[in-house]
Structure 1
Amino acid sequence: MFDNIDRTDIEQLGEFGLIEYLTKAVELTQPSTIKGIGDDAAVLDFSGQKMLVSTDLLLEGIHFDLRYVPLKHLGYKAVQVNLSDIYAMNGKASQITFSIGLSSKFPLEAVEEIYEGALIACKKYGVDLIGGDTSASAQGLVISVTSIGYAEEAKIAYRSAAQEGDLLCVSGDLGGAYVGLQLLEREKQIFLENPNIQPDLEGKDYIVERQLKPDARKDIVELFEAYDIKPNAMIDVSDGLASEILHICKASGVGCKLYEEKIPIDPMTYETAREFGLDPTVCALNGGEDYELLFTIPQDQYDKVKNQLDITIIGYITEQNAGCEMISKSGNVHPIKAQGWNAFSKEK
């Protein structure tokens, strides 16, 4: 895939030369960053705030397919999916480390694209890249990102603090990333059968972008602060709505009622799912990679969220013995089951 560009073999630079080359454009903007790249460790000062740390690993062939994922988008997404974990704690993201393992097929120009995407994400979200590592890899491309943030102790939203009677809410819309993935996979198969046929993605920009270039919901955390909304429990929707609901309910020792008709699904997601013979609700429940925020709030905060266009109330929290159930559009009751992403599934 890199035969048509001028190649610079990474071994010409060596590890330290590569690090220096890739990080020359890094700028530090966070007051909490005392020392970034250039020493044995970064130095951070959060002035009494609680520090939040999360790490994600992305593996070629497991988490992404380079036959349709642009490298710049990959770098951007690798940062976004990690920042999402900080926002899911109701925190503010401030720094990341970005580590990469490379096989010999990747020239310097390819690595530059990955880092360019990562730095675009850093700039957009106001976080500093303060370190990382580079290594040779025998198994293709490996990316590991660690995100660091902070929050006041009283504002941190854990998965384990949902209360009976809480409203169950979600940001944005769901299922788009999964349906976008189905579209990309279809076009990949068509291309493999006939390389002369160009991908047909016209009119599907939204769902393709939901898969290739997701945006973590920093804006929702900022909305919480502006309207003095304090989620009791929160999680990001990375593995599908059903899975995340069950995570909150299990950690909190509660049950829930979810209303199918309330699940927010974009019209393009809905229509494209139908074109593929898929149930849009199932895509939202089990698709994953939407990186929206699922959270619970006390009922007395209803007035603060009822008119927020990007927040939907989709159900409520019940006592544990009531179980986790979805009420369908036809009024039938179904137990919520998680059938989303499994990183260790043998069926890929």
Structure 2
Amino acid sequence: MIENKNQSKTDLSQLGEFGLIQHLTKNLKIQQESTTKGIGDDAAVLNFKDKKTVISTDLLIEGVHFDLAYMPLKHLGYKAVVANISDICAMNATPTQITVSLAVSNRFPLEALEELYEGITLASNFYKVDVIGGDTTSSQKGLIISITAIGVADEEELIYRDGAQDTDLLVVTGDIGAAYMGLQILEREKQVYLVNPNSQPDLEAYEYLIERQLKPEARTDIKKLLEELDVKPTSMIDISDGLSSEIMHLCTQSKVGCNLYEDKLPLDPQFINTCEEFNIDSTTIAINGGEDYELLFTIKMGDFEKIKGNPNLSIIGHMTQESEGVHIVTRANTKIPLKAQGWNSLKESEE
């Protein structure tokens, strides 16, 4: 068969990461009875005996997802585990095991991989997950890490992205935006170092932001907290790609709209001060920055009193009918359409 040299070629960056996934998987059909939930949520769900098994996989590539100029290998190992455990938490499940696969180039000695595994071991011990396998291979370019996380939950405990109703409240854990600003600090110091390798950075004023970037934590505490409060979210997702992107995912999957309130966003004082120093808008960063690994979820309006005033949780908006669209309501009470401008690894890698 003669190849058609003139066939059209679509650039991957036109689809974006999520568009590409949707395009490639649109013809896949569930064929196994044991597959309860396949592609389209934070983790897959498998039905084995009395417990549901949830599985999630993440890929981290040097130069795309991390920069070893300021990311210590020990921190990288820890963060790689956290990123995957966070997806299990987003299903309201309990993480139990992980597998770790590495592709490394010949510029990494044994000692470097030992340092990486120190972080992986530290995280697995802290979160009480077992490392049960994986793979190691060579890479022609840099370091690639793939981690698969496995968790369990009772069927009635599981929470998907598609359960939000049009009167539900939108809730987020912790604070947001700090991880992105930590990255900006590290990028700035990298540029200073390249000009003057003898300079010693003073990062004390940015300690919290840098910790949020280099050593984030997964919210494994939220499942128990919500149980104690007698609250079951109607939908849930973790914030890895930016708040705006995650809200859009919940709205798309649940077929609802949303009003997000600017004055309700939980922002750390160090984050606000650093945004002012960089002369950038804190709201823009808070809703578009990624890697916070906080949980975003919706609850029934009737559960308001149960979570009101809880220091771990902030009500930042409410869901509306799908026809009303997705908006952010500014401090001046102006409604602006919310656009998903969060992390897109396909687009970023092209730039």
Alignment of 1:78-117 (within 5 A): 78-117=80-119
* Cα RMSD, aligned residues only: 1.3
Change (3 A) 1:45 1:253: closer
Counterpart AA for 1:253: K
Give the CA deviation at 1:227: 2.0
Give the CA deviation at 1:274: 1.2
1:68-110 superposed Cα distances (whole Å, 9 cap, x missing partner): 0011000000000000000000010000001111111111111
- List gaps (5 residues or longer) in structure 1: 1-43
Counterpart AA for 1:162: A
SS of the equivalent of 1:159 reads: coil
Counterpart AA for 2:221: D
Partner of residue 194, structure 2: 192
- TM-score when normalising by structure 2: 0.85
Partner of residue 67, structure 1: 69
Change (3 A) 1:45 1:162: closer
Counterpart AA for 2:70: Y
Alignment of 1:284-323 (within 5 A): 284-323=286-325
Partner of residue 232, structure 1: 234
Name which of 251, 254, 259 aligns with 1:252. Answer: 254
Name which of 50, 53, 63 aligns with 1:51. Answer: 53
CA contact (8 A) 1:46 1:150 kept: no
Q: Runs of 4+ in structure 1 displaced over 6 angstroms? A: none
Partner of residue 22, structure 1: none
In structure 2, what is the Cα distance between the partners aligned to 1:124 and 1:210? 17
Give the CA deviation at 1:153: 1.1
Give the CA deviation at 1:307: 2.6
Counterpart AA for 2:288: N
SS of the equivalent of 1:204 reads: helix
* Deviation larger for 121-130 or 217-226: 217-226
1:23-57 superposed Cα distances (whole Å, 9 cap, x missing partner): xxxxxxxxxxxxxxxxxxxxx99751100000000
CA contact (8 A) 1:187 1:200 kept: no
Counterpart AA for 1:214: P
Partner of residue 161, structure 1: 163
In structure 2, what is the Cα distance between the partners aligned to 1:254 and 1:283? 24
Change (3 A) 1:303 1:46: farther
In structure 2, what is the Cα distance between the partners aligned to 1:317 and 1:277? 32
In structure 2, what is the Cα distance between the partners aligned to 1:224 and 1:158? 16
In structure 2, what is the Cα distance between the partners aligned to 1:337 and 1:200? 36
Give the CA deviation at 1:199: 2.1
- List gaps (5 residues or longer) in structure 2: 1-45
Give the CA deviation at 1:229: 1.4
State the number of aligned residues: 305
Partner of residue 138, structure 2: 136
Give the CA deviation at 1:200: 2.5
Partner of residue 178, structure 1: 180
